[in-house]
Amino acid sequence: MNKQVEIQDLGLRDYKEVWDYQETLFKSVLDVKVKNRREGTDIETPNYFLFVEHPHVYTLGKSGDMQNMLLNEKQLEEKGATFYKINRGGDITYHGPGQIVGYPILDLDNFFTDIHKYLRFLEEVIILTLAEYGLKAERSEGETGVWLDVGTPFARKICAMGVRASRWVTMHGFALNVNADLGYFDNIIPCGIRGKAVTSLNVELGKQEVPPEEVKEKILHHFSRLFGSRYTAPASWHST
């Protein structure tokens, strides 16, 4: 089993461009698995973890409800945002600058074959990362993602999640609000959940900005520990 994970930090990239790239990596892993099964070979499957920031974009999962998008085409254009219906689970969400988006493309045969456990582990990675900033983040029963003040009138979501998996290969992932413009969430019913707010790490800490590379390194530390994986962080993170 290959526990090595290749980390790629893509910077600020168009959503569709990265979606297509994810699909390419996803298919390459599946192709190795199919070859192994058909030909009786034992070629190791690769694992990837993509970090990216997207320009303003709204995405609707395959089980999502279009009524949760509150803007029409013209209004989207006025806000400089795009919209895509995509092939992950979950409802509608927003991605934009100041958000850390993580796309693990893993062959779970290298780790464990349990999608429920995979989602809970992704949530735990974010919960442990936020704990390093003194925040008590939690799960909310029946609502995938990571929240603060669950069970109170002040419950607010700080990280959305939605994944796709086929033959135990994953794609899509999580979106953690770090320095995000929360005003863009006013244009949707986030994840189809009414009456609950959205927040960002910098808001919770009362800071203008939290260094994104610092947060990414914490995410990878906890990801590696939980999944028992190995990785090398991009050299650019260590430059001054």
Contact between 132 and 123 (Cβ < 8 Å): no
Nearest-5° angle of CA 142, CA 126, CA 221?
145
> Cα–Cα distance between 158 and 131 in angstroms, integer?
13
Say if residue 161 carries a ligand binding annotation.
yes
- Local structure of residue 141 (DSSP, 8 states): T
> Cα–Cα distance between 101 and 51 in angstroms, integer?
6
Say if residue 181 carries a ligand binding annotation.
no
Residue boundaries of the structural domains of the chain: 4-238
Contact between 107 and 31 (Cβ < 8 Å): no
Q: What is the pTM of this model?
A: 0.92
Class at the top of the CATH hierarchy for domain 4-238? alpha beta
Q: Which residues, in sequence order, are CB contacts of 59 under 8 Å at separation 6+?
A: 15, 83, 84, 85, 86, 88, 92, 93, 95
Per-residue pLDDT of the chain in tens (240 residues, 90 and over written 9): 899 999 999 999 999 999 999 999 999 999 999 999 999 999 999 999 999 999 999 998 887 888 888 888 899 889 999 999 988 877 888 999 999 999 999 999 999 999 999 999 999 999 999 999 999 999 998 888 999 999 999 999 999 999 999 999 999 999 999 999 999 998 887 655 666 789 999 999 999 999 999 999 999 999 999 999 999 777 776 543
Contact between 95 and 102 (Cβ < 8 Å): no
Say if residue 86 carries a ligand binding annotation.
no
**Tokens, residue 37:** 């099964």
Q: Give pLDDT, residue 196.
A: 73
Q: Which residues, in sequence order, are CB contacts of 206 under 8 Å at separation 6+?
A: none
Q: Which residues are catalytic?
A: 191
Q: Which residues, in sequence order, are CB contacts of 41 under 8 Å at separation 6+?
A: 35
Q: Give pLDDT, residue 173.
A: 96
Q: Give pLDDT, residue 240.
A: 32
Q: Give pLDDT, residue 195.
A: 62
> Cα–Cα distance between 158 and 177 in angstroms, integer?
6
Say if residue 145 carries a ligand binding annotation.
no
